[in-house]
Amino acid sequence: MVEFCQIDLKTWMVERWVCNKWEVGAKDSNKKIKVTPLFQVKAWLIRRVHEIRARDAIATLLLDAKKHSLKSLPKKYKNKSSGLYEIDMPDIHLGRQTWEEESGENSDLKIMVGLVKVAMTDLLSRIENTSVSRILFPIGNDFFNVNDKREETIHGTRQQEDQRWQKTFREGRKLLVTLVDMCVEVAPVDVLVIPGNHDEERIFYMGDALDCWYHNNKNVSIDNRAVKRKYYQFEKNLIGFTHGYYEKPEKLAYLMPSEVPALWAKTINREWHLGDKHQKKDTVYYKTTDGNGIMVRILRSLAAPDAWTFDKGFISSPRAAEAFMWHPENGVSGQFTHVVK
């Protein structure tokens, strides 16, 4: 029946089917009873909605990648500075929907995309007259608000979310490509993918998509390793990145020298940069007799609070994104903040 009716099984799925057989008797020309078997086949079909949407999303990604690949030519930079510019936007929670009457501010997918682009434009403008050798751009840290179409975090906590999970992922990919492209106009970009406690699986898929997108671009590197804690060395500086949900801040001071002893030995300025708490806090741990130690910075968020975070008081005041200028020998030489107005 499927073959005769030319049913496309990539579009339709057979939910159930029945096959019946019965016999009919009739006199032939010789007035004898002739028994004829009859058959009936019936099927109930369901449209493969999720598979179609997934194929469409992949097709769109491939089409966009093919268009984008024409622009992915090696870029030559005039500046010879050895400075590093780090841009941090943790806890964007893309897809979160908030209501001003309930939590103080309105926010949705469209509003958040606009805020993030404005923040990146502002932070890049702070170095228009300052040349840098590289840009460090950590992503993740709860970039997405939920982990799957059930509108739940990786731990199963229900969220106030835009229900169109395919659109949220697609718009998130477009947003990150835009941000990386903005950075690469200034200097080569190193992207670190940091898993969060909301979107651990989803941000890995995003990191893989970005790795595919930029794999032929020598000015962009993507670190999408599965490890939750990542380290970045810049000359005499060592920066550790983790979301801040799983480890206590004071424990990070001891994890750094034990996990990357070779990098520890090569550096003198060491910091951890965390998200998760949406509130700014700088603390020095592991302080030695000569005054050296490890700075643990908890960074603010651009995201508007939903009802749960508002009720618990987990809000960033003011909402902000931050950037750090790193000197090769002297550590952080400048700090910049974009505040949501």
Label residue 134 by pLDDT band (50, 70, 90): very high
Residue with tokens 């005054």: 291
Are 306 and 98 within 8 A, CB to CB? yes
Structure tokens that stand for 144 in this block: 């997405």
Label residue 82 by pLDDT band (50, 70, 90): confident
Q: C-alpha angle 64/69/74, rounded to 5°?
A: 145
Residue 69: per-residue pLDDT:
57
Label residue 71 by pLDDT band (50, 70, 90): low
Query: Does 94 score more than 60 pLDDT?
Result: yes
Are 4 and 43 within 8 A, CB to CB? no
Separation in Å, CA 211 to CA 72, 161, 222, 312: 13, 27, 6, 37
Alpha carbon distance 71, 278 (integer Å)? 36
**Class of residue 27 by CB neighbours under 10 A (exposed 0-12, middle 13-18, buried 19+):** exposed
Query: Domain boundaries in the chain?
Result: 12-46, 80-339
Alpha carbon distance 83, 329 (integer Å)? 10
Strands 331-339 vs 320-327: parallel, antiparallel or unpaired = antiparallel
Residue 16's beta-bridge partner residues? Answer: 44
Query: Does 93 score more than 50 pLDDT?
Result: yes
Structure tokens that stand for 16 in this block: 């159930």
Nearest to 325 by CA among 199, 166, 186, 148: 186
Query: Does 290 score more than 50 pLDDT?
Result: no
Residue 12's beta-bridge partner residues? Answer: 47
- Predicted model pTM: 0.77
Query: Does 137 score more than 70 pLDDT?
Result: yes
Structure tokens that stand for 324 in this block: 């750090």
| Choice between 302 and 160, residue whose per-residue pLDDT is larger | 302
Are 198 and 246 within 8 A, CB to CB? no
Structure tokens that stand for 22 in this block: 């019965």
Are 325 and 289 within 8 A, CB to CB? no
φ, ψ of residue 279 to 5 degrees: the values are: -130, 140
Alpha carbon distance 167, 256 (integer Å)? 38
* Prior bond of 318 cis (ω within 30°): yes
Range of lowest pLDDT (60-74, 87-101, 135-149, 310-324): 60-74
Rounded to the nearest integer, the mean pLDDT of the chain is 89
Residue 75: per-residue pLDDT:
74
Are 197 and 153 within 8 A, CB to CB? yes
Query: Does 294 score more than 50 pLDDT?
Result: yes
Range of lowest pLDDT (57-61, 115-119, 130-134, 186-190): 57-61
Query: 80-339: what fold?
Result: Purple Acid Phosphatase; chain A, domain 2 (3.60.21)
